[in-house]
Structure 1
């Protein structure tokens, strides 16, 4: 069989298996096994050696130790209710302006994203905390669901992010080390949060019915000094944790793995001072960390096996020759790669997309003389949309699971569309101004 035929058939088999509802990690490994045997003449020992070597290489990657530590940090923070006090303070501070509660949700999710990096925790926490308040104050259902789902997805991009740790461990390039990715993601994350903030503020000022302010009586219960005190008291603990994790990485004091351990310890301290630290919390957080880490690593193994077989049989060269040899402008080639990632995000988990596309697209990007770090950040910003785009956007289902029964899936689908477009605007801004990605890494790490 020709390499071209095997390339198309392998992707077709993967899409078919996913459509049939099979678990993604095992689907990737199964498709890789079938096509690996076809490619090597059914040499089972040879394929088994390839599988063992790849699995051992993954398990021996020190960077990936950060994954369970960051997940544990997120689980402890979620159960210590750090975000509750901050939302209650911002409810009072911002609630008196049009769209103020929506703006409070964005601020809380941005801070929460910088301390957890777990989408499910952010969306569920704000869904439980913010939805009743938004609903009781008369916020449009579409607007409120869009705000919570979109702001909750910032956790996958703003460091410390599990996706960036996986990406850094996957490429093995100095330019895309976890430290560089963390530094490069700060401005993109802030840009997206700012776009959400501006959209809510402008839209609610044009049409106050979408996000009415709280009553003057409710807003006047606290003096300006009390409002500042409440905000600082609730903001200082998570900001101290952010400084402990990100500050040590950017200062070169600790590796991302060591910083993850420091973050998990800091989360324990915050849980203790919030009087939420007990045996039950530790047990649940540890068990959830075990399950999530196992899921991520199984995806990692299956995806790595798939990409290795695909590249070994020449599939990567077929894709590269098709795109580079087409004679298209390099920016059009970049658009095609981003469009493929966007479409895959509608149906496939972000980890699988990274594991399948990065080994194929990164060499093409470098061949076209794109900065590897900048290209990686475009990929990561693009992958954030995978949590919002129907039919399988995880953030939509997380929110639906905790939202009041008044919210239908149609409310949620309509609500997220403007924010998906805003993510596209953010991607365009990074394309026009690559220094927004590369400047901070050059300051902290040189090069």
Structure 2
């Protein structure tokens, strides 16, 4: 079988299994089993598959994944995250599109706590959407910002997807966690700028309303009690990684421990919070790790079939500018983002893309973070972006999928603009990681 026939058979089999409803992890395992049986000498090849599965998850690099997820779960179920949003609301003032701006700001805060887009969309959608509807906000100005806010969870450290991407790509977890900071903040600023300009041009879509003023003394007290401590934990994690004082794994362990201490000091660390937080973190961590088990075997099958060498050679010989090749690769990720979730996209594309990245001598951190923005956009890309369906489940009863799709479009375009800036000006991504010790 030629390499392209093997690759086509692999993806057709994977697509069929996913269409009939099998989970991504199980579908990937089954097609890997078929590939191993065909290429590695039948049943005896399964021993190598077991070793590949073991090596793919028995790595120190992945330890921060369950740590950061547990940290976010405890902050979420103990109410720390909700209290932070309330404090932000006190300081926001009377900007145009106030609640929409609050959604972006709260999404950035939740991103530092949860690292998961769908969790952020679910929480903000259930709390802010009814409030926006009550004040007469247009659907595009209520649903759209909440969808955009969820994506910030992927682009602001600690990001679970960034660790997974670095692990699969074999590059620095610390550098990619630091590298996503500037693009994440740029995305938040672009979204807020768009909301304010649109609210001023079309005030009927985000009507002004009276918000009671909170005395400055109370705002300062609440910020000191409920905003500064959790933010300090996140800043400390980033600082430890940036200055090389601790590895991402050590920083994650310290941050998780301090989160438990903070919940205890707030008198929120009870049995219910522990059970829900640990249970949620365990389920999510296991799901991610199961998906990762297919990565090593898939990479080895690609190499053994000759697909890796052939694709790399083909990319090198294409009569196009290397940047056009990069754009084509990102278009493939965009297309996949319409149908499958981010971790699965990483699992499928990184073993194919990474040899091309090395052949073209691109900085893998730069490429990885551009891909992170693309993966962030996948959560809100019609027709099957996962955040779109989360939003449908919590939106007002008269909201259609068409309303949600239309609300997502401006923020998809903002993401594409950010990707263009990152491609045109690589220092946007690389400046901060290059300052690390």
TM-score, normalization: structure 2?
A: 0.95
Residue segments in structure 2 that go unaligned for 5+ positions in a row = none
Partner of 2:142: 144
* CA distance in 2: counterparts of 1:71 and 1:25, whole angstroms: 19
Q: Is the 8 A contact 1:115 1:241 kept in 2?
A: no
**Deviation of residue 224 (structure 1)?**
4.8
Partner of 1:238: 230
Q: Indicate which of 403, 422, 433 corresponds to 1:441.
A: 433
Q: Indicate which of 325, 339, 353 corresponds to 1:333.
A: 325
Q: Is the 8 A contact 2:333 2:375 kept in 1?
A: yes
Partner of 1:432: 424
Partner of 2:21: 21
Partner of 1:265: 257
User: Alpha-carbon deviations, 1:18-71, whole Å to 9, x = none?
Assistant: 22222110111111221232233x4221x2122122122123200111111111
Partner of 1:43: 42
Q: Is the 8 A contact 2:115 2:153 kept in 1?
A: yes
Structure 2 residue 281 is matched with structure 1 residue 282: no
Aligned residues: 437
Q: Is the 8 A contact 1:138 1:211 kept in 2?
A: yes
**Deviation of residue 315 (structure 1)?**
1.7
Q: Is the 8 A contact 2:33 2:46 kept in 1?
A: no
Q: Indicate which of 341, 346, 356 corresponds to 2:338.
A: 346
After TM superposition, the structure 1 stretch with the greater mean CA deviation from structure 2, 230-239 or 204-213, is 230-239
Partner of 2:91: 93
User: Alpha-carbon deviations, 1:305-346, whole Å to 9, x = none?
Assistant: 233222321122232233222222111111111111111111
Instruction: Look up the SS of the partner of 1:138 in the other structure.
Output: coil
Instruction: Look up the SS of the partner of 2:244 in the other structure.
Output: coil
Partner of 1:393: 385
Partner of 2:10: 10
**Deviation of residue 95 (structure 1)?**
5.0
* CA distance in 2: counterparts of 1:214 and 1:269, whole angstroms: 39
Partner of 2:395: 403
* CA distance in 2: counterparts of 1:86 and 1:367, whole angstroms: 46
Structure 2 residue 29 is matched with structure 1 residue 34: no
**Deviation of residue 223 (structure 1)?**
4.0
**Deviation of residue 121 (structure 1)?**
2.3
Q: Indicate which of 183, 195, 200 corresponds to 2:195.
A: 200
After TM superposition, the structure 1 stretch with the greater mean CA deviation from structure 2, 179-188 or 246-255, is 246-255
Structure 2 residue 173 is matched with structure 1 residue 181: no
User: Alpha-carbon deviations, 1:244-268, whole Å to 9, x = none?
Assistant: 2111111211111111111212221
Instruction: Name the CA shift for 1:231/1:405 in 2 (closer, same or farther; >3 Å).
Output: farther
* CA distance in 2: counterparts of 1:228 and 1:142, whole angstroms: 33
**Deviation of residue 226 (structure 1)?**
4.4
Instruction: Look up the SS of the partner of 2:255 in the other structure.
Output: helix
**Deviation of residue 272 (structure 1)?**
2.3
**Deviation of residue 137 (structure 1)?**
1.4
* CA distance in 2: counterparts of 1:307 and 1:19, whole angstroms: 23
Instruction: Name the CA shift for 1:274/1:105 in 2 (closer, same or farther; >3 Å).
Output: farther
TM-score, normalization: structure 1?
A: 0.93
Partner of 1:56: 54
Residue segments in structure 1 that go unaligned for 5+ positions in a row = none
* CA distance in 2: counterparts of 1:82 and 1:407, whole angstroms: 30
Q: Indicate which of 113, 116, 119 corresponds to 1:115.
A: 113
Q: Is the 8 A contact 1:75 1:288 kept in 2?
A: yes
Q: Is the 8 A contact 1:184 1:373 kept in 2?
A: yes
After TM superposition, the structure 1 stretch with the greater mean CA deviation from structure 2, 396-405 or 61-70, is 396-405
Q: Is the 8 A contact 1:95 1:213 kept in 2?
A: no
Instruction: Please list, as runs of the form range in 1=range in 2, the aligned pairs for 1:417-428 lying within 5 A after superposition.
Output: 417-428=409-420
Instruction: Name the CA shift for 1:407/1:272 in 2 (closer, same or farther; >3 Å).
Output: farther
* CA distance in 1: counterparts of 2:98 and 2:222, whole angstroms: 17
After TM superposition, the structure 1 stretch with the greater mean CA deviation from structure 2, 350-359 or 290-299, is 350-359
* CA distance in 1: counterparts of 2:208 and 2:285, whole angstroms: 41
**Deviation of residue 230 (structure 1)?**
4.2
Partner of 2:404: 412
After TM superposition, the structure 1 stretch with the greater mean CA deviation from structure 2, 413-422 or 17-26, is 17-26
Partner of 1:126: 124
* CA distance in 1: counterparts of 2:109 and 2:117, whole angstroms: 13
